[in-house]
Structures are given as structure tokens and as C-alpha cells.
Amino acid sequence: MKHLQYHDVPISVSDLEIGMNIVSLDRPWKETNFLLQGFIIKSQEEIYQLQAQCEQVFVQVKMEEVEAFKRMLAAKPKNRNGKTRRPGVDGPVTDIPVAYKDQVPFEKAVDSARVTFDSARSMANTVIDGLRFSRNINMDECRQAVEEIVDSVLSNKDALRFLSQIKSKDNYTAEHSMNVCILCATFARHLGLLDFEIKTVALCGLLHDVGKSKIPIEVLNKPDRFNAGEARMMAQHTTFGRNILMSMGGNHRHAVEVAHSHHERIDGKGYPRGLDGDTIPYYAKLVSIVDAYDAMTSDRVYGTPKSSEFALDILLKNMGTQFDEALTKEFVKCIGVYPVGCLVELKSGEVAVVIGANELDPSSSKILIVSDEKKQPTPFERVVNLASKNPEGFTILKELANGSFGFDVKSYIKKEFALYNR
């Protein structure tokens, strides 16, 4: 009986099809999430995962079919620029978005998300503080934290984002990294990215500013405007971040690209490489929008927080020049007019915290009223659902920047959430 002979043919991940026998990758198997070292592709999901983690793989083909197989690959249509599409760099791995729905009500999700939030905050602090003392990043722990964050976001899109309003200007870099991670997961869910891709984007968000660990504290926390030398030093954090992540080895190329490229601009006037348009990696475009939004809405040593409405307006004014236009428009839809956790003024003059957003009708949110008509704290805080249980006819007038009239959202978030179940 004649034994069949096989040949291992290199193939771009953009050319993969169900039924192909994958025998090796362009990186060690242990650096990927594939349990088996060699398998036959059985689903489109496996193709997406290969595309997200590799650029080239090796497929086992019968010896007598090798030439025909190569001709088939050569005949496959390419993108309009003649190049193969690079998932996560040129765009999402699939053009068919996933429609996610909340699985858990907001009130229950907030309560269960507190453990995840505390874990994420601890992880962000560990990463930044560890790097300052020359300790390596534990990528396994980072991925575990990201898994928990994404699971929470997929369960309910608002719960973790609500908790992320608990911000501290005294520990801005770590808190910002955690918040960007949470917002990246929320935005990626809104875009309908696949589960594993949401985790990739969230990991990129968590690690996008690791290069700031190499910036002197006195520069990083300077309350005044940077001079020219300090500005140049701060700009180096993108290169520092790339070098830190590259030195670790392993398969986190998207995190490397985002750390290096999240300050590039669509018009080519960004840094460090002056990339423009489609030369900027897709994930970096996504993270740059989230990064700017969280920075504007956070309390920092050199600036007071801006309202979400103000920050979104700045993003819209700068789309097409600094930010990707299509992604910016989607991010505005994702955040909404009155996002959970924002401070608002009612037509009655009272101040309230939004604790439940209504995507279909932003004016019908669920709110916690925290002041009287004269903007004085009220001992009778109460929850009002503007969509239904609103006999007094409360109406939102406008959003306020956190801290307005002395009201800090985080002081209400820290309270027991039993109040919100009314």
C-alpha cells in the first residue's frame, strides 16, 4: 500500500479556509490560546483567532496537490490596494458585527462588578508601580484581569463604566489605564467586535501608557504647562511603551502597536512616526479616541474634569484630522447624551447623578437626585425613573462637569447600591 506524502505550505492567515490542516504557526504555540499544537480548522471563529494572533501559518497538503494548492492561493482576490488585509491593523477581523444585549440588570451588575473593578484597579497600579522598580509585567495576570472586565462588560455595558467614575488625580496614570481598558471593552462591544477581539482591544487599553513609567514623576505630575524639553520627554512615552512590551517577548503585537501609535493623527501630525490615515493601526485609532475622552473627563493635577458632552464635542470637532471619522461617530453613539455616572442639572434647578441610561430616549434616564432647587445637598436623596415613575415631571436641562456646585459623583458611587433598586 502506497503511503501518502505531505508537504507543509506557508500561507497568509487572510487565505485560510475551513477544512485546512494547520500544522505550525509563525510563533510558538504556547504564545497563543490554541490548546492543540496542530488542528483542522472547523469554524470561522478559529480562522478569526488565527488571523488575530498570526500573520502566517503552515498548512499540510498532499504532495501531489501542492502546485494546484499554490495556484489556488495565487488566484485569490486581494484587497483593492493589492495587499492582504491585516485583521486588527486594517480593521476588525470581520465586517459582520455581533449584536450584544445586556444579560444582567444594571443594579445587579454594579454590585457584582465591584470585585472586578477593585481587581482591575489593583492590577493597573501593580503594572505601573512594578515598571518603576524594573519589574516585568505579568501578562498572565493582565489577561486574567482583562477577561474579567470583558465578561462584566458583556454582561452589562454600563456597570463597570459607572464604577470607573471613581477617579483619583493623585494616581492618574494607573487609574487612566484602567478606565481606558474598561471603555475600550465597552466601545468594542458597541462596535460588535468578536469576544476575543474585545479582549485584545481591552488589553491594549490597559497597557497603552506603560511607557509613562519611564517618565520622571516630577514631569509626569507637573501641575503647570510643560516646557519644550518636558514636552519632548513626555512624547517619548510611546517609544518607551513599545520597547517595554517588545522586550517581554510573547504574542502581544497589537499591544505593542497601540502603545507606540496611540498619539498618531489621521492628518499625519501626530507622534512618534507621523503616520497618517490607514497607516495607523485600527486598534490604535480606537484607543486614541477612548484615551482622549477619558483624559478630558478626568480630574488631573493640571486640569479640572470636563463634562462628557464637552469631551464628545471636542472629539467631533477633531474627527478627520486627529481622530478617525467613522470611529469617532460610533464612539459618540456608544457614550450617549447622558451617560451613566454623569452629573446633570434638572429644569427644577436640582442636581442629579445619572444611574441608568436610556439609549432610545436619553431624556428618560434613571437618576439619583442629590440637591434641592438651590443646589444645596439634600438629606432626602431619591431615585427617579424619568421614563415612568416621574409624577413631578422632572426633566434634564444639561450635563454638568463633575464637581460642579461641590457635587462629586464618586462620593455617591461609593454608597450602598440598595438605594438604586427603588
Within a domain: 380: yes
Distance between the two ends of the chain, CA-based, in angstroms?
A: 77
| Domain endpoint, select from 335, 357, 379 | 335
**DSSP assignments along 40-75, one per residue:** E--SHHHHHHHHHH-SEEEEEEEGGGHHHHHHHHHH
Is 70 exceeded by the pLDDT of residue 301?
no
Q: At what angle do helices 282-296 and 325-335 cross, to 10 degrees?
A: 50
Q: What is the band of 251 on the pLDDT scale with cuts at 50, 70, 90?
A: low
- Of 225 and 267, the structure prediction assigns the larger pLDDT to 267
Are the C-beta atoms of 362 and 337 separated by less than 8 Å?
yes
User: Residue 272: is the preceding peptide bond cis (ω within 30°)?
Assistant: yes
Residue 112, all three cell numbers = 457584582
| d(C-alpha 46, C-alpha 35), whole Å | 12
In terms of domains, do 45 and 153 share one? no
Residue 218's CATH number: 1.10.3210.10
Per the structure, the complete domain to which residue 240 belongs is given by 106-335
Within a domain: 68: yes
Are the C-beta atoms of 331 and 289 separated by less than 8 Å?
yes
As a dihedral over the C-alpha atoms of residue 137, residue 139, residue 145, residue 149, rounded to 10 degrees, the angle is 110
Can you tell me the mean pLDDT for 194-208? 92
- pLDDT of res. 79: 52
Q: Which of 73-77, 170-174, 189-193 has the highest mean pLDDT?
A: 189-193
In terms of domains, do 156 and 291 share one? yes
In terms of domains, do 321 and 348 share one? no
Handedness of CA 135, 137, 138, 142 (dihedral sign): positive
Within a domain: 50: yes
Assign residue 73 a region (left: φ > 0; alpha: ψ between -120 and 50; beta: otherwise).
alpha
Within a domain: 91: no
Within a domain: 100: no
pLDDT tens-digit map of 318-375: 999 999 999 999 999 999 888 888 889 999 999 999 887 776 676 678 888 999 999 9
In the chain, % helix, strand, coil (3-state, to 5) comes to 50, 15, 40
Widest Cα–Cα separation across the chain:
94
| d(C-alpha 405, C-alpha 419), whole Å | 23
- pLDDT of res. 16: 86
| d(C-alpha 235, C-alpha 219), whole Å | 12
Within a domain: 251: yes
| Domain endpoint, select from 291, 307, 335 | 335
The closest of 378, 381, 359 to 368, measured between CA atoms, is 381
pLDDT tens-digit map of 377-403: 988 888 888 877 666 778 889 888 888
**What's 359's DSSP letter?**
S
Give how far the C-alpha of residue 109 lies from the chain's centroid of Cα atoms, to the nearest Å.
Answer: 19
Is 80 exceeded by the pLDDT of residue 275?
yes
- What's the mean pLDDT when you consider all of the chain? 85
| d(C-alpha 112, C-alpha 114), whole Å | 6
Q: Is 8 exposed, middle or buried (CB count within 10 Å of its CB: 0-12, 13-18, 19+)? A: middle
In terms of domains, do 176 and 133 share one? yes
In terms of domains, do 321 and 358 share one? no
Q: What is the band of 238 on the pLDDT scale with cuts at 50, 70, 90?
A: very high
Place of cell 471613581: 166
In terms of domains, do 224 and 372 share one? no
As a dihedral over the C-alpha atoms of residue 363, residue 364, residue 370, residue 376, rounded to 10 degrees, the angle is 40
Can you tell me the mean pLDDT for 243-261? 86
pTM for the whole structure:
0.79
Is 70 exceeded by the pLDDT of residue 159?
yes
Q: 377 — phi, psi (to 5°)? A: -55, 135
Residue type at 118 in one-letter notation: D
